[in-house]
Structure 1
Amino acid sequence: MTMTETREDVPAADADEATPAAQKKKKTKEKAQPMVSYTELFRYIAGWDYLVLLSGFVAAFLQSLVFPIAIVVYSELVAMFIERTLGQGTSSVTIGLSLFGGGKILTNASYEENMQELRKDSVSFGILMTLNTLLMLFSGVYYVDAFNRLALKLTVRMRREFFKATLRQEIGWHDMAKDQNFAVRITDNMEKIRSGIAENLGHYVEIMCDVIISVVLSFIYGWKLALAIVFYIPLTLVVNSAVAHYQGKLTGQEQSSYVRASSVVEEVIGAIRTVVAFGGERSESLRYDSLLKPALKAGKWKGAFSGLSDTVMKAMLFITGAGSFWYGANLILYYRDPSIPIDEREYTPAVVMIVISGIIVSANQISRTSPFLETFAMARGSASAILDVIDRTSLIDPLSKAGKILNYGLKGAVEFRDVFFRYPAREDVIVLRGLNVVVEEGQTVALVGPSGCGKSTCIQLLQRFYDPVFGQVLLDGEDVRKYNIKWLRSNIAVVGQEPVLFQGSIGENIRHGKPEATQKEVEDAAKAANAHDFIIALHKGYDTDISEKGVQLSGGQRQRIAIARALIQQPKILLLDEATSALDYHSEKLVQAALDKACKGRTTLVVSHRLSAIRHAHRIVYIENGKAVEQGTHEELMKLEGFYHKMVTVHSYDDSAEELLNELEEVAEIKERKMSYEVEPYQLGTRNSIVSLEKNAEFQMKNLNGLANITMNQEIDDPRVPSANFISTFFRILGWARPEWSFLIIGAICAGLYGVTMPVFSVVLAELYGSLAKPTDEEVLEQSASMAIISLVIGIAAGVVCYIQTFFFNLAGVWLTTRMRSKTFRCIMNQEMGWFDRKENSIGALSARLSGDAASVQGAIGFPLSNIIQAFTNFICSIAIAFPYSWELALICLSTSPFMVASIVFEARFGEKSALKEKEVLEETSRIATETITQIRTVAGLRREEELIKIYDKEVERYRHQILSRLKWRGLVNSLGKSLMFFGYAVTLTYGGHMCADGKIKFETIMKISNTMLYGLFILAQSLAFTPAFNAALLSANRMYEIIDRKPQIQSPESFEIQQNGNGTAYKTNVVQQGVSYRGLNFSYPSRPHIKVLQNFNLDINQGQTVALVGASGSGKSTCVQLLMRYYDPDEGKILIDQESIHHDMDLKTLRRRLGIVSQEPSLFEKSIADNIGYGDTSRQVPMQQIIEAAKMANAHEFIMSLPAQYDTVLGSKGTQLSGGQKQRIAIARAMVRNPKILLLDEATSALDFQSERVVQQALDSACSGRTCIVIAHRLSTIQNANVICVIQAGKIVEQGSHSQLLAKNGIYSKLYRCQTKAS
């Protein structure tokens, strides 16, 4: 989509509406996020913080005195101008001017005497206003700094408490927390809370104190006049309160929408390989856009309400000012009667000006509170979900100190007694139905049964991830609920099917099992896990950095490190959940040997469908439908000829086969030990399906010697150095907002017109002042009435243009934000896999960037921009009015402007640099939080909660210091800009008074120049409050443009012409035969260019052939599939389909449309089962009948129909509510729906039990018929019917041929096959 796209394109229709399950769902109204009380935002205030808060309030109160003092002193001086010019005597009693020798009352004085006193009045005014300036400067600096520092401190504490509270929650809560997008909560929402209690609170307190003091002052000076116009204040309060109320609701809706949209971002980036493999970019984009709709709608209404508030306030400002001054003029004339003594004259020019100015300034100040009230509402709404988590009492708290701890140690006897259980997220499905299993101390008990029968659930119940609904899980005769959770889990070690490793060194990952372990203990554990040899072969040994989940290691290496991590705990109970299911024979041999050692002397629960892992168990328990239906040794169960016997006879391996296999693969082990390289750290986030690192011992030695000659044909861009050309960025943003140009043009014109209204009103106001100096009452009334009418017209015009500019700028801003979010998300999905491999592009970092930066961009053409336009238009108009009257006095007014401009430039430059660093640190905290929560099961099992809290606290402290470095000048810059206006009045009116006394200028002209120029400067100073938001918007836009502008390293050839079907999917027009050829491939992963994975790899696959790739872990099998999918491109060589290069002659979407893939670790989405299966063909709406047929082919239909919601069952995040085998079968069904021309099976049946594997394998064999298929498997029985079998070692094909041909060669494959015998 181009940047000139229409508004109708974003957001698009809800993609889910095209899915079968979604058609049955009713649309529900987006609910607003509830708000907490404002005082709750200060929950974490303590100790000296109260003093800081109190002193901040005091400083804000002192600053609130500035305006009332200025009103009194200014009104007194204007009264002196009027009365001394008239020469009829002084009727105004002064309080302020008399302090420094001014305001002397004269009767029957000469003109010269009046002018002489006017000079003294001017000097006294100058002194008072200078003191007032200093009061404003120092009090403003203090309270802005105090509130900013306090807000930072409190939100840092809240961040820590939120992260800690999230880790406290039980696993069931995490399963249910669909809308708890932690990247948004811990970044965007926290920043909104900080904004709500930072300097904005100080500004609000200052304004409200100012209002109260000014109103009281007005009633003290002239209650009659004040009573006549005070209605303006309650009107302002009512309008602002109503607007704040509705905006608060709309803000809650907006936040809820963004949280749901961010959840999609995390899910998609986490499963990016699945998304691109099935061409799901467009459907995911539509799904994301549909979730932005409620936020867009709420944003529009917020602008409408805000515009209405501004309209009423601004219009009433002018109208009330004009009417009240006309009434005041009548009061002055009434009390000007010479028969009334001076001391009895209730209304003088000074009194009238003080009363009117006090009421109008108060109302105007109240009208300024709308943005603050909106900020407070956003903070309260954002805090609601965060404090809900903090306040929630976890049902199973891993940080709780409660519970029994056995000082004499644990024996390890386990019993499941009549256990009933259902997952909190699937309460309609009973998983365990009265399970009874006893495991004696030191026994190894194997749990077997079909997928989804409850095997893994038993392991999770023993770890107390969940509690039974009924029944008990006993440990040494005590219910596990009575033990301290941390202590309980410290006695249990788990090795799962998909081991999770964390970012850091190998040594650190092993120490996660025992943080205080010595280096010797780490090495001993690695040796026990058969991992020591390959670790020390690495360039940095145990200090070698690996990325999260260990994606730079092969499956076998990851598993062995996980075993070492488990063994270092010296646990009493060892839980093995499909620990070897995904391994090839070589890796399984090493891992199984380690497990056999680990089981000795420990109570061990084994979940596996491999006979070699369970046949020697002391007891085997067969679970069916949540019940233990058979128990006994292998021999006893075989004699029963029941469920277990049936399972074994379906698919089994003889023990002698395992032994011979171990001998045959010693060569691969020797090669592995020769490897010596350094793995470079990078971060992939929490993606499930990245392929294992392919290693090659022979190639490593060659490539390390020739490393200096390697040329990397890839883009190396530093994402931390964005373009800082803010001017070009701003104009580019305007280009992106082209669909809203009409709104922006109208809004800019109205903002400019509104900026003109104040200088014009200042001239009218000066004329009103001048009317009081007219010699006759008739002239006074006539001129004041005419000026009042003009002011009324200005007020109506100001109200209209104010509403238009507020509404249109807001409308353009929310559309721009929505468009930027949508476009950036699409560009993220279009990047190549190597880009996602980088540390800075983790899930947490990208999600935080998309949510935080997109929200900031609105400031570039939203409310801040409109205020800046107003300020500069006002200032220019003021200059145009002032200079023709008196260039000399106008220059005096401008004397303070260089300081104001300097402060603006300084804050912009300084803020730009510090804000960039601030965002980097904030992304890092988001990454840590997101990855921790994503891997919460592993974190809980390893008891890493307290350790990760410390790590997170350290990053948050870095963030705090970075913010403080930016805030240290904020108070000075903000207060300097505002206080300079008062100093400008001091200088201008002091100098102007002398000019007037000398007869060089009339006092009305002084009023016109000073009011227009100084008010213009004041408005310009007020715009300082918006320059940080404007700068932040441009900086955020730069960061988003980095993603948008980045050209993916893997994309369709530019010269390739494609046709678009109705859904926008690209297809090539000619029919192809689907033959595949690998020609001379050399390949290294982008993050490790010095490690060759494939070298001179050649393979030809004819149309309709099934080719199997076998070999040791890390030999390059999965890399071949990834290169065909174009996840990566080879360094040299090419891949052809029907003699056409997939890199130069074929559209990327067309290529992937022909391919269907089933990966070893399938990624499922938080959608219905039907939607997940239908995801296999995102180019169309897959009929329900085809979905059911695909499920039947994958042997998934029966278990799906057993669920209460059947195909409409919504899976949890990443499909966590299903067993591994169930997830795999849905993934197979997804591939079947695609009906691909080329089918890629990467260990497609590794996670299935024997019965399922046999049925599914038959379905896959049938699916391969007539298709070109590439199969990766380590079970040779599943591939012996392949047309061609390729044995890969060290990135090369060492044997190739059919099953019979390879047997005849009597080579590697022949030996492997002969050692596999079926048990009858």
Structure 2
Amino acid sequence: MPSPAKSPVDDAYQRVETPRHKPATSSESDLSASKKEPSLRRQIVHGGPTSFKFTHLYRYATPLDKVLLVVGVITAGANGALFPLMAIVFGDVLTGFSSIPVDMDTVNKAALDFFLIAVAMFFTDYLSYVTFYYSAERQMKALRSEALKHMLYLDISWYDENDALQLSSRLTGDTVKIKDGMGQKLGDSFRFTVQFVVGFVIGFVRGWDITLVMACVMPFMTISLGWLIKTMRIKSDWAQKVYAEAGSVAEETLGAIRTVASLNGEQKAIKKFEDKVFEAERENIALHKMTSVVFSMFLGSVWIMYSIGLWYGGWKASKGDTTPGDVFAAFFGVMMGTGSLAQISPNVTAVSKAAGAAEELFTILDTPSAIDAEKEDEGIIPDKCEGKIEAVNVNFTYPSRPDAQILRDYNVTIEPGQTVAFAGASGGGKSTLIALIERFYDPTSGTIYLDGRDVKTLNVKWLRSQIGMVSQEPVLFATTIFENIAMGGDNVTREEAIEACKLSNAHNFIMSLPENYDTLVGEKGVSLSGGQKQRVAIARAIVRKPNILVLDEATSALDNESEKIVQTALNNLMATTNMTTLVIAHRLSTIRNADKIVVLNEGHIVESGTHDELLQIEHGIYQNMYRIQELRSQEEQQEAERRETETKLEKTNLSRTLSGVSTKTDISVSAVEKNFLAKQPFTLMDIARLCKPEKNYFIVGLIGACVGGIAMPASALLITGMITSMTEKYAMYENTGDRSYLSDLYDNVELYGILYLVGAAVIAIFMYMQTYCFKFIEEKTTTRLRNTNFEGLCRQNVGFFDEKENATGALTADLATNATKVALLSGDSQARVFQAIFTLVAALVISFGFGSWLLSLIMLAIMPFLLFGHVARMKQMQGGGLISDDLAVPGAHASEVLSNIRTVAALGIEKRSADVFDELLEEPLQKGSKEAQINGASLGFSSFIMMATYSLIFWYGAKKVNDGTIGFTEMMRTLMAIMMSVQIVSGASSFMGDAPKAFKAGSTIFAIRDRVTTID
């Protein structure tokens, strides 16, 4: 009995702890190792127990990156501290207005302080954003580069247990998460943490007891918010996993669309895709129901906190124990600190996600390759290769299938220059020997020799350079024909490529193409026929000038005519060279001239000899296989002749019928087949039709948006009432000494406190209605669009996928993003637009009807700048986690080389592929750096314009109040109504900024859905 299988991955693990070639002492020890194998493999493949630290994220940080990080931390912290200082300055303003007449010196000084804070916030916002962004982007380029390079050099057995298609998504999706977590999200975590601390410090300094009273509500808010974020992370990650599985279904289907179409498998693929999408939809709807409850309760808690804080502060002021200035300084300090609390959690979550994504990616980076093809100076490099191959007592089991032994006591000798063919049933081990010779794997036991040397002692890169491979399904890359051929060797000239193509019978068809050797072959060579791809692959093997040629069922997937052409090319090649040739054949007629034929059955060599010798073995396996194939070949020939006769008759009858028809018909049909129909514009009516099944949810959500929109201006009206009542009554008390004013002050405060409590209940109920209903609509719309898009793609003719712009990677990327873009218009964006409309109307009514028309006009003139600033900030906050379009090209390249890793390894083009990837990453880095400058300046402007507006209004308003033109109450109503409403309106503006992309995405989906195909 042969020893149980032992994985090459286990060898890699053992190299860390023990000598590389520790011999087995007995079969029992081999058995013991086999039993331990799964746990050992898991520790390598999945990383084993690790203690990942946040500092590990900065593995690729240079000294410059560290300097940028320090500058970013300092400026982010400074920016966080500046914002709560507004509470102190605001308190000073109220102190100035508490005097009769207005203390202009105090107000003017406060206005100047506001302006100085505005300038400081511009520079700190700008510097923190740019430094964090640039540092993270530089490190991500290094990480992506190293990650792909390492993945390319991992052994093939690792890929047997890991999905290559998911690796490219890690290089884009996971690294975007890492960049967010160590870039701007980290900066925001510092900023909002400092803002929280400074806000509460101000609160305690100006009114410690007011701060403590308001803080009583915080435990509930913190716990609910923490639970919400944790639940969202878990559920959304699960939903993304399901969406990723749906994406894999789509990529597999579209990547093999010819096979799917030939098997009529479109409906099965659609059903599988829809099941995954529906699964994600159910989970997301359940998540939205929970998050809507918690979110509405959180908003209600904020209103309760305002009520308690203002009521208690007003009570203290009514007793004369504090001033309105101190009350509102403490109140706004806590308010700003609490507001930052809601921002800390998502940013810290982003940092946590970055650490999680990095841990998974770094686990791969830290996984050693069982067979190291990267080191060019490791292993023997012989002066020449004769081509003698020996397999001695070889046993082999694939690491991913330890229970299925493939080769058993395998012994074969192949002399230099011999042509040896391997035949037998599928799964018998024919291709396994080739994989062992190329050192994709190492034998479980036994030895493979090349020219008398154990292949394990040879340099891997040199070994593979001696082998030329032509497989059943040759892999061509999405570049030109010349570039594909040139991948076969080092520094291949165009003349060498042309000579190779002449030998492979490829030159003539290449010269008939529009761009000749510069013709792009498309993804997986889709623009070429099977026979053409095969001949290009043979040319690629020729320029390699190999000493060993491997033909792995090189003609089995071709039709008879293509097979004859390719077989002729192969015969010419073998006749004109002295290479050792290994042929794996299904059609035995193609190997009758081999010097030796080896017949395998269940991993054993059962017969060996020439074609004639094997036919002499009575009841032999080869003889039986040959006779069956000969009989089948005769039947196929007869059937082909019959079909040819019928086809000729049909063509004759058809030509008579259509003899008078213009050839323009043919032209129009091919035009329809080749091109998209003109895209119909995607409009709001299309969105309305998509959402029609959920019209009841829309009505309920609209009512919620109406009340939610009015809530912020109403809050401004209440807080203005508090401010003016306390300030004016307290001013009268200080001016006259009459304590009846303090009694009136308390009565007003009590009324406003009750109104805030009522508002808390109202806002909680109606915000739940808005949030859940519109999220429900969004999920349903997303599902419909995803399913419509995929079904439309599956319905297209095969020729549609031959177009360069319809590569599988591009289509699946659109499938993943287009539906989400369109659905935003039916969900969050729609809710925010309706809410913003009601907010803006209510704010204008309050400002002009109950405030100062003069200040209202000034505020309206400033409003576009305020909106621009808020939109810029919200864009930055929402931008995290999104994969830039600039990563599409390098991502497609990574996906292509990783999904064809066997071909990459066989050709030895790992370094070339990694270098191309590095070049493609340069553009996103340069473009991102320029965008960082613009975004940083926009964020700085956002902070500047807000603080500068307070400075202007308080300075100008104080003058008007002092000369009696307007009242203090009217000034505050105008200011607070507009300023507190800008945030809501800008939220809608930032979402609607994506409307053009959403309409374009919808147009693309509907164009595919409505496209007329010649074959449906």
TM-score by length of 2: 0.83
Q: Deviation of residue 822 (structure 1)?
A: 1.4
In the alignment, which of 1044, 1052, 1063 is matched to residue 1006 of structure 2? 1044
Q: Deviation of residue 194 (structure 1)?
A: 4.2
1:172 equivalent to 2:157? Answer: yes
In the other structure, the counterpart of 2:957 is: 992
1:756 equivalent to 2:710? Answer: yes
In the alignment, which of 579, 589, 592 is matched to residue 602 of structure 1? 579
**Take 2:352 and 2:694, find their aligned partners in 1: how far apart are those partners?**
28
In the other structure, the counterpart of 1:71 is: 87
CA change 1:649–1:763 in 2 (3 A) is closer
CA change 1:850–1:36 in 2 (3 A) is farther
> In 1, are the aligned partners of 2:407 and 2:429 still within 8 Å (CA)?
yes
In the other structure, the counterpart of 2:687 is: 733
In the other structure, the counterpart of 2:941 is: 976
Letter in 1 for 2:107: S
Of residues 269-278 and 564-573 in structure 1, the stretch that sits farther from structure 2 once superposed is 269-278
1:199-210 correspondence to structure 2 within 5 Å: 199-210=184-195
**Take 1:460 and 1:489, find their aligned partners in 2: how far apart are those partners?**
11
- Write the deviation string for residues 193-225 of structure 1: whole angstroms up to 9, x where unpaired: 444454344333322211111111222233233
In the alignment, which of 113, 128, 148 is matched to residue 113 of structure 2? 128
1:926 equivalent to 2:891? Answer: yes
In the other structure, the counterpart of 2:769 is: 804
1:1226-1305 correspondence to structure 2 within 5 Å: none
In the other structure, the counterpart of 1:824 is: 789
> In 2, are the aligned partners of 1:730 and 1:1034 still within 8 Å (CA)?
no
Number of residue pairs aligned between Structure 1 and Structure 2:
920
Q: Deviation of residue 829 (structure 1)?
A: 0.8
CA change 1:402–1:870 in 2 (3 A) is farther
CA change 1:715–1:962 in 2 (3 A) is farther
**Take 2:167 and 2:782, find their aligned partners in 1: how far apart are those partners?**
21
**Take 2:615 and 2:494, find their aligned partners in 1: how far apart are those partners?**
46
**Take 1:560 and 1:843, find their aligned partners in 2: how far apart are those partners?**
24
In the alignment, which of 874, 885, 893 is matched to residue 859 of structure 2? 893
Letter in 2 for 1:51: V
In the other structure, the counterpart of 2:542 is: 567
Query: Per the alignment, in what secondary structure is the counterpart of residue 426 of structure 2?
Result: coil
CA RMSD across the alignment: 3.6
1:399 equivalent to 2:384? Answer: no
Query: Per the alignment, in what secondary structure is the counterpart of residue 447 of structure 2?
Result: strand
1:714 equivalent to 2:671? Answer: yes
Letter in 2 for 1:288: F
Q: Deviation of residue 282 (structure 1)?
A: 2.8
**Take 2:174 and 2:542, find their aligned partners in 1: how far apart are those partners?**
41
> In 2, are the aligned partners of 1:68 and 1:214 still within 8 Å (CA)?
yes
In the alignment, which of 233, 247, 252 is matched to residue 237 of structure 2? 252
1:97-496 correspondence to structure 2 within 5 Å: 114-115=101-102, 118-178=103-163, 180-182=165-167, 184-335=169-320, 347-369=322-344, 371-372=346-347, 375-376=350-351, 379=354, 385-401=360-376, 403-496=378-471
1:845-864 correspondence to structure 2 within 5 Å: 845-863=810-828
CA change 1:75–1:636 in 2 (3 A) is same
> In 2, are the aligned partners of 1:860 and 1:1034 still within 8 Å (CA)?
no
**Take 2:678 and 2:77, find their aligned partners in 1: how far apart are those partners?**
42
Letter in 2 for 1:888: L
Letter in 1 for 2:225: N
Q: Deviation of residue 551 (structure 1)?
A: 4.1
Query: Per the alignment, in what secondary structure is the counterpart of residue 72 of structure 2?
Result: helix
Q: Deviation of residue 411 (structure 1)?
A: 3.2
**Take 1:186 and 1:854, find their aligned partners in 2: how far apart are those partners?**
23
In the other structure, the counterpart of 2:73 is: 57
Query: Per the alignment, in what secondary structure is the counterpart of residue 412 of structure 2?
Result: strand
CA change 1:1047–1:239 in 2 (3 A) is closer
> In 1, are the aligned partners of 2:708 and 2:766 still within 8 Å (CA)?
yes
Of residues 282-291 and 950-959 in structure 1, the stretch that sits farther from structure 2 once superposed is 950-959
Q: Deviation of residue 44 (structure 1)?
A: 3.6
In the other structure, the counterpart of 1:47 is: 63
Letter in 2 for 1:753: V
> In 2, are the aligned partners of 1:187 and 1:852 still within 8 Å (CA)?
no
In the other structure, the counterpart of 1:1167 is: none
**Take 2:325 and 2:1011, find their aligned partners in 1: how far apart are those partners?**
74
Q: Say which structure is richer in helix.
A: 2
Q: Deviation of residue 627 (structure 1)?
A: 0.7
Query: Per the alignment, in what secondary structure is the counterpart of residue 177 of structure 1?
Result: coil
**Take 1:801 and 1:716, find their aligned partners in 2: how far apart are those partners?**
52
1:551-562 correspondence to structure 2 within 5 Å: 551-562=526-537
1:837 equivalent to 2:784? Answer: no
In the alignment, which of 715, 719, 722 is matched to residue 768 of structure 1? 722
> In 2, are the aligned partners of 1:36 and 1:384 still within 8 Å (CA)?
yes
**Take 2:856 and 2:349, find their aligned partners in 1: how far apart are those partners?**
37
Q: What residue ranges of structure 1 are gaps of 5+ in the alignment?
A: 1-33, 86-113, 337-346, 662-705, 1052-1125, 1128-1147, 1149-1320
- Write the deviation string for residues 1174-1217 of structure 1: whole angstroms up to 9, x where unpaired: xxxxxxxxxxxxxxxxxxxxxxxxxxxxxxxxxxxxxxxxxxxx
Q: Deviation of residue 352 (structure 1)?
A: 1.8
In the other structure, the counterpart of 1:1131 is: none
- Write the deviation string for residues 1028-1079 of structure 1: whole angstroms up to 9, x where unpaired: x55446514523531332366654xxxxxxxxxxxxxxxxxxxxxxxxxxxx
**Take 2:872 and 2:307, find their aligned partners in 1: how far apart are those partners?**
39
Query: Per the alignment, in what secondary structure is the counterpart of residue 48 of structure 1?
Result: helix
Q: Deviation of residue 52 (structure 1)?
A: 1.9
CA change 1:243–1:136 in 2 (3 A) is same
CA change 1:864–1:199 in 2 (3 A) is farther
**Take 1:834 and 1:1049, find their aligned partners in 2: how far apart are those partners?**
13
> In 2, are the aligned partners of 1:858 and 1:1033 still within 8 Å (CA)?
no
CA change 1:890–1:487 in 2 (3 A) is same
> In 1, are the aligned partners of 2:390 and 2:448 still within 8 Å (CA)?
yes
Letter in 2 for 1:295: A
1:624 equivalent to 2:601? Answer: yes
1:628-639 correspondence to structure 2 within 5 Å: 628-639=605-616
- Write the deviation string for residues 639-693 of structure 1: whole angstroms up to 9, x where unpaired: 444333444455569xxx9xxx9xxxxxxxxxxxxxxxxxxxxxxxxxxxxxxxx
Letter in 1 for 2:476: L
Letter in 1 for 2:273: Y
> In 2, are the aligned partners of 1:129 and 1:986 still within 8 Å (CA)?
yes
Query: Per the alignment, in what secondary structure is the counterpart of residue 772 of structure 2?
Result: helix
Q: Deviation of residue 749 (structure 1)?
A: 3.0
Q: Deviation of residue 369 (structure 1)?
A: 4.1
Q: Deviation of residue 596 (structure 1)?
A: 2.1
TM-score by length of 1: 0.65
Q: Deviation of residue 513 (structure 1)?
A: 0.6
Q: Deviation of residue 790 (structure 1)?
A: 0.9
**Take 2:870 and 2:753, find their aligned partners in 1: how far apart are those partners?**
37
In the other structure, the counterpart of 1:1198 is: none
**Take 1:720 and 1:379, find their aligned partners in 2: how far apart are those partners?**
43
1:1163-1242 correspondence to structure 2 within 5 Å: none
Query: Per the alignment, in what secondary structure is the counterpart of residue 316 of structure 2?
Result: helix
Query: Per the alignment, in what secondary structure is the counterpart of residue 623 of structure 1?
Result: strand
In the other structure, the counterpart of 1:1210 is: none
Q: What residue ranges of structure 2 are gaps of 5+ in the alignment?
A: 1-49, 638-662, 734-739
Letter in 1 for 2:753: A
Q: Deviation of residue 621 (structure 1)?
A: 1.5
Q: Deviation of residue 1013 (structure 1)?
A: 1.6
Query: Per the alignment, in what secondary structure is the counterpart of residue 421 of structure 1?
Result: strand
